[in-house]
A and B are shown apart, each in its own frame.
Chain A
Amino acid sequence: MAEKEEKKKREKPPEGLSKEELKEWARKKAEERRKLREAKKGEEKETKEKETKKEKKVYTNPLADRLRERFKEELSDISVDDPLRVSAFVDPTKVKEVMKILKEEFGLDHLMDVSGVDALKLKGADPNTFWVVYHLTSHDNPTILTLKAVIPRDNPQIDSIIDIYWNANWYERETFEFFGIIFNGHPKLKALFLSDEDIGQWPLRKDSPAYPNPNNTQR
């Protein structure tokens, strides 16, 4: 609607001009309009940026403060994304110790999930890595702690936490069959959903072409 009104408002060219003069006059007017439009856009951008800067709030969570005190070496980049979400990167060689302390001292008795992420095409992450992501929470407190262990792509191995959290069993098996991440110390690391022939395709990796793999002509 605004554009239509603008068109109506446009000035009529002064009478008695030759064709070339008319063209020049139109060119000048068009440039003026363009400048006006750009100025408007710039203003909008500035206001938007200001808004987004205001929206970025800093949250605090008691769990994050306790973690910072207790784990000075094992955990890094502890951040609070939301009042109830704390995330951190964990040293992959010390996963077991950290989990044990978290369960016994911090009361995080509920392992919600263990999953894998392939960082091959993820912006801002090392492409030669996998993430193993743990989600921990407690039955008494709604805060969810997200722990990420970054492991190398050519040698994806990490300790199994099945001794500490019983229900890690199926989650680790699933992560193994879809990503090829090996959980050391898992008593029965084999396929859960896929058949044994499909092991080795690692379907959820980002370089896996399709699912099921059309190039696999054996089946």
Chain B
Amino acid sequence: MMPMDEIKDSEMIVHLGPQHPILAGPFMLDLRLEGETVKEAEFTLGYGHKGVEKILEDRMYISCIPVTDRICYLASLSNNEVFCNCIEKLLDVEVPERAQYIRVILMELSRIQSHLIGLGEFAEFIGFMSMFMFLVREREDILTLLEMITGARLTHSFVRPGGVRLDLPENFKEKALKILPDFEKRVREDQETLESDEIYIERTEGVGVVPTSLAKEVGVAGPVLRASGVNYDIRRVEPTLVYKDLDFKVITATAGDTFARAHCRFEEIYESIYIIQQCLDQIPSGEVRAKLPKTLKPEGEVYCRVEDPRGEMAFYMIADGSPKPYRVRIRGPAYATLQALPPVLEGVYVADVPAIIGSMDGCTSEVDR
């Protein structure tokens, strides 16, 4: 909350939230305005605080996996992935190659569905309601594929230390190869609809520019960072799983504005589809889970990171050889991006605030933990 006595007569405060249609979750944004220009922005967080880090300290390693789902429901598979990655590194287990491919497929599918929701919300905040409906309709196809593999549409809890829970279903490859090209065609149509719209271009181009130097200094993550011209993707920088063997482009843009951020997300969807098609071609047969003892007792200290739909997701785990983790620290990408919002919002018009917040694709659930 901003102190009232520091406010001049010509200024006023506008509270957005905690419940507001333009916010991607419950948080409060106080804007100090002079006329229509934002002078200062400040956050109040904690409406969705669950205490995940404390909960994880009191659970066996296997029971931690469903908790990591709840950090961010749109990126639950990458949260599973990075948590299991920590345990595997500590126990020095090698994941069977088939399981690695399945994990890559799952991560990319969840990236696609997360980007679709993010873009849909962004379009809705701008006022393009029907685009939200279009994109959620396309997302249904991806959720069908995810449901085929994991049996759940949202919180999957599918990745296990040393592999995955189940093998791919029998007719998955045929079905995925049938759905994906059609899906890509429809998303491309939606992108064209959105990006050829004059009002959309007017409202997004040159709005909320994050220059390269600022992006690096404030530490934004994921597509927001790449739209500012920084070629930084954990899949390329520090490849886990079989990302080394796969061919993909790191999508970057130079403008750093709202338009570029949305554009990067669309392009990343197509890259993800290409990665999944490669995986389905290359996937070998074999085991999907390495043999591990029933009670996991890793020991040591590890820092692992993967590329979440929103950027670099990292876990810092200290294990002391008991069946429960001693300390788990979660470093989320949405947290880093949201922190960088106040300097970006300084000097913009109030009417542009929804567009900028939407293009950042925040996830308050992950920020609050």
Contacts and interface: CB of A to CB of B under 8 A. Distances in A.
Quick one: which of A87, A122, A166 has the most chain B CB within 10 A? A166
Interface string A116-128: 0110011100000
Interface in B49-92: 49, 51, 53-55, 89, 92
B238 A142 contact: yes
Contact of B51 (A111, A115, A203): A203
A112 interface: yes
Contacts of A192: 45-46
Contacts of B216: 109-110, 139
Nearest to B339: A170
A167 B316 contact: no
Contacts of A142: 237-238
Nearest to B336: A167
Given A81-B301, A113-B316, A166 B218 contact: yes
Interface string A182-196: 000000000111110
Given A110-B219, A112-B331, A167-B340, A195 B46 contact: yes
Given A55-B92, A113-B314, A122 B326 contact: yes
Interface residues of B, number: 36
A67 interface: no
Instruction: For chain A, give the interface size range.
Output: 35 or more
Contacts of B331: 112-113, 115, 135
A211 B303 contact: no
Nearest to B215: A139
Contacts of B219: 110-112, 165-167
A194 B320 contact: no
B303 A144 contact: yes
A139 B218 CA distance: 12
Nearest to A55: B92
B329 A122 contact: no
Q: Could you tell me the dominant secondary structure of chain B's interface residues?
A: mixed
Interface in A79-112: 81-82, 84-85, 87, 109-112
B270 interface: no
A112 B331 CA distance: 8
B5 interface: no
B320 A122 contact: yes
Contacts of A109: 216-217
Quick one: which of B51, B219, B335 has the most chain A CB within 10 A? B219
B232 interface: yes
A121 to B, nearest CB: 7
Given A110-B219, A115-B329, A211-B54, A85 B46 contact: no
B159 interface: no
Quick one: which of A84, A195, A204 has the most chain B CB within 10 A? A204
A169 B338 CA distance: 12
Given A135-B303, A170-B335, A113 B329 contact: yes
B321 interface: yes
A132 to B, nearest CB: 12
B316 A133 contact: yes
A170 B303 CA distance: 20
Interface string A160-178: 0000011101100000001
Contacts of A121: 320, 326
B297 interface: no
B340 A85 contact: no
A203 B54 contact: yes
Nearest to B212: A139
B268 interface: no
Contact of A146 (B53, B230, B303, B369): B303
Interface string B291-315: 0000000000111000000001010
B314 A122 contact: no
B368 interface: yes
Interface string B353-369: 00000000000000011
Contacts of B336: 167
10 contacts: A82-B89, A109-B216, A115-B331, A133-B316, A135-B314, A142-B238, A166-B217, A170-B335, A193-B46, A193-B369
Given A81-B301, A109-B216, A204-B53, 8 more contacts: A82-B89, A112-B312, A122-B326, A139-B216, A142-B237, A167-B219, A203-B51, A211-B55
